[in-house]
Structure 1
Amino acid sequence: MQTATLAHVARLAAVSENTVSRVIRNKGPIAEETRRRVLAAIEQLGYLPNRAAGALASSSSLIIGVLLPSLSNIVFPEVLRGIHAGLADTLYQPMIGVTDYDLDQEQRLLASLLAWQPAAIITTGFEHTQASRRMLANARVRVAELMDIDARPIDVAVGLSHRSAGVATARHLVSRGYRRIGYVGHDWTADRRAALRYEGLCQGLQEAGLSLVAEQRFDGPSSTLAGRDTLARLVEGDASVDAVAFSNDDMAVGGFMHCLAAGIAVPGRLALFGFNGLEIGQVLPKPLATIRSNRFLIGRVAVEKLLESGERSAEPQVIDTGFEIVAGATA
């Protein structure tokens, strides 16, 4: 059987080979009917584009490099679902690397991805090594930094203001009548966004003439177990705390489990407030009060913005996908 070529696709779709190439690379204006005919011809013929040759000819490929801190944390698989949704009607494919919150690992993965001449790079947050920042700044590709908008991006930032989310947490708790508010968190070394939410929480309390009355941080990554044990230490140290803001929902769910085991009434004796809006928090005996971030939307919007143009804008762009307070029943 003869292998299908670009010329075969063009003949079947009744277009030029250049038009087929532009559809494959998603470059330039293409009428929707033309795009549909070309994609139908590709499917009918089983045509496989020569990605390597395309990369050599156009100085870019159909790869979108994606660097995520983790795939075990449910937050980032949801971002990845959004990225896949944004790519669904294109011929671009994600090439995924997991950094484990290690900036040196991000640098190594980034160098490897850039060697493939990707059409774009998606990273998480604004924290990079100097070498990574130089590579991203100098690369001839679009760059999206996700999850955070509290700094100036290299090209495009898509996410939410974590400092504003912290302020909103404080205002919500104060509006519910809580005055002796504590904080339970995890290590900030690799999680700048948690630190920003903490800063916002303190700012919001200061606006109300208040400050944190107690705080405990776990020396390691967030987990339900860490949340349980860290809340136990906090309430043992200050039994007068009437509400606790957690660095995220994982920690808050663990805190809720401690309250169940210790017979601490929630929210009657102690209010609990998380961050992320994870499903696990909403299936507790009392749904968790929290802030929901739009993780799927972040991934999808990032891809759509990157594919709008192959050129960076003169000024970096910031896209705020916002957040919402979930009142729940724990605060």
Structure 2
Amino acid sequence: MSSRGKVITLQEVADRAGVSRMTVSKVLRGAGNISAETRQRVKQAADELGYLPNNLAGSLSSRKSRMVAVIIPSISDIVFSEVLSGINATLRPRGFQTFIGESGFDPETETELIRAMLSFRPAGILLNGGMARSADAESLLARRTCPAIQLWDCDRRALDFSAGPSHEEAGHLVARHFLERGRRRIAYVGAELDKDLCARRRHLALKSSLAAAGIDLLSVTAEDRPRQAVTGRFLTEQLVRTHPGIEAIHFLNDAMALGGLSYLHDAGFPVPERISVVGFNGTSLANAVRTRLTTIDLPRTEIGEKAAQALLQMIAEESVPDVWRAPLALVQGNTTRPDK
């Protein structure tokens, strides 16, 4: 479990900068007739100490915050919205409310959200674990004074508690599924792997499992396209045009898999007789078309619930384990054949 820092006060900044507490307050509020040299000295002292302004000073001076900060990659993505539902369903009956930030898998956006949210002195902060976090974000989190929870990832242990699946296990599970069905020419189709570390970890696990069986994984990815059905269709067309002998495709998520399926059906490739397809997430999209998608399912709402429960325990100063590993299940649909 990681440690948390102490609250840096205005007086400490004033002492470091060699000015009065009132001068520090004016500089940080952008008020008063303060020289440029003094302003620079105060801001440098605040940065060096890791000072965060308390935006709730006064209104919460007599009681602890009941607000919890949550930063997720996408509010519109059903995967993260279901995790958020689990968080809210657990926290609200206990009198806590969430305020939400959307990072878009962008490290700089996440950093600014962390900075802004911590300035409100929340009771806790929950963040997606599948991102390449900036050094500034890591520094801010190291100096936090509240519990911090990692969502969606248990492979990379971080912060006070992690709730999520093993993405390495997911990659190995897909590889085994294809191999048990005699597939040898296997491809991966994904997007934004430079931003999504969890997806990248699944991809690498799939690749290593196949390599152990003497198979080279063919990967077709796009870093400048969204993780949506339209990208799945576009990349699948590229894949089968250049590698017509492909026998199986694992997609980054269910949405991209459905886009790929639409192209395969339109182009006359029988699924699963000619090409097998597996998605990831187990969302309702897997059952949204006539051909039911084979996919990796995981308890998204429960991930949010477990994360929120751990936060409540930490707020109550109760001990918690470092991690909750979400169970994975490969759900057999119509896009892969039953086991041989």
Instruction: State the match for 1:275 in structure 2.
Output: 280
What amino acid is the match of 1:253?
Answer: L
Q: 1:286 aligns with which of 281, 284, 291?
A: 291
Cα distance change, pair 315–297 in 1 and its aligned pair in 2 (3 A): closer
Of the structure 1 ranges 278-287 and 234-243, higher mean CA displacement relative to structure 2 is found in: 278-287
Residue 118 of structure 1 deviates from its aligned partner by 0.5
Instruction: State the match for 1:44 in structure 2.
Output: none
Q: 1:174 aligns with which of 151, 167, 179?
A: 179
Instruction: State the match for 2:112 in structure 1.
Output: 108
What 5-or-longer segments of structure 1 have no aligned partner? 1-50
Give the structure-1-normalised TM-score: 0.80
Residue 315 of structure 1 deviates from its aligned partner by 9.5
In the TM superposition, 1:18-167 aligns within 5 A as: 55-58=60-63, 60-125=64-129, 127-167=132-172
Of the structure 1 ranges 308-317 and 292-301, higher mean CA displacement relative to structure 2 is found in: 308-317
| Alpha carbons 1:55, 1:117 under 8 Å: kept | no
Residue 199, structure 1, aligned to residue 218, structure 2 = no
Cα distance change, pair 234–95 in 1 and its aligned pair in 2 (3 A): same
Residue 266, structure 1, aligned to residue 271, structure 2 = yes
1:56-108 Cα offsets, whole Å, 9 max, x none, are 235x4000001111112111111111111111321100011111211111111
In the TM superposition, 1:311-330 aligns within 5 A as: 317-330=322-335
1:116-136 Cα offsets, whole Å, 9 max, x none, are 110000000153211111211
Q: 2:193 aligns with which of 184, 188, 191?
A: 188
| Alpha carbons 1:54, 1:61 under 8 Å: kept | no
Cα distance change, pair 314–303 in 1 and its aligned pair in 2 (3 A): closer
What 5-or-longer segments of structure 2 have no aligned partner? 1-55
Residue 187 of structure 1 deviates from its aligned partner by 2.1
Aligned residues: 279
Q: Percent identity?
A: 34
Alpha-carbon separation, structure 2, partners of 1:227 and 1:179 = 21
Residue 53 of structure 1 deviates from its aligned partner by 5.5
| Alpha carbons 1:166, 1:200 under 8 Å: kept | yes
| Alpha carbons 2:65, 2:121 under 8 Å: kept | yes
What amino acid is the match of 1:97?
Answer: G
Query: Could you list the runs of 4 or more consecutive aligned residues of structure 1 that deviate by over 6 angstroms after TM superposition?
Result: 311-316
Residue 221 of structure 1 deviates from its aligned partner by 2.3
Alpha-carbon separation, structure 2, partners of 1:57 and 1:132 = 29
Alpha-carbon separation, structure 2, partners of 1:265 and 1:313 = 55
Instruction: State the match for 1:223 in structure 2.
Output: 228
Cα distance change, pair 255–196 in 1 and its aligned pair in 2 (3 A): same
| Alpha carbons 1:293, 1:322 under 8 Å: kept | yes
1:184-204 Cα offsets, whole Å, 9 max, x none, are 111212111111010010122
What amino acid is the match of 2:280?
Answer: F
What amino acid is the match of 1:70?
Answer: S
Alpha-carbon separation, structure 1, partners of 2:139 and 2:180 = 45
1:122-173 Cα offsets, whole Å, 9 max, x none, are 0001532111112112211010010011112121111011111001110111
| Alpha carbons 1:184, 1:216 under 8 Å: kept | yes
Alpha-carbon separation, structure 2, partners of 1:172 and 1:86 = 35
1:3-39 Cα offsets, whole Å, 9 max, x none, are xxxxxxxxxxxxxxxxxxxxxxxxxxxxxxxxxxxxx
1:275-320 Cα offsets, whole Å, 9 max, x none, are 1111112222111111012111111110000101227889971210
Any idea what SS the aligned residue of 2:139 has? helix
| Alpha carbons 2:154, 2:323 under 8 Å: kept | yes
Alpha-carbon separation, structure 2, partners of 1:154 and 1:313 = 16
| Alpha carbons 1:152, 1:316 under 8 Å: kept | no
Cα distance change, pair 129–92 in 1 and its aligned pair in 2 (3 A): same
Residue 218 of structure 1 deviates from its aligned partner by 2.2
Alpha-carbon separation, structure 2, partners of 1:324 and 1:161 = 12
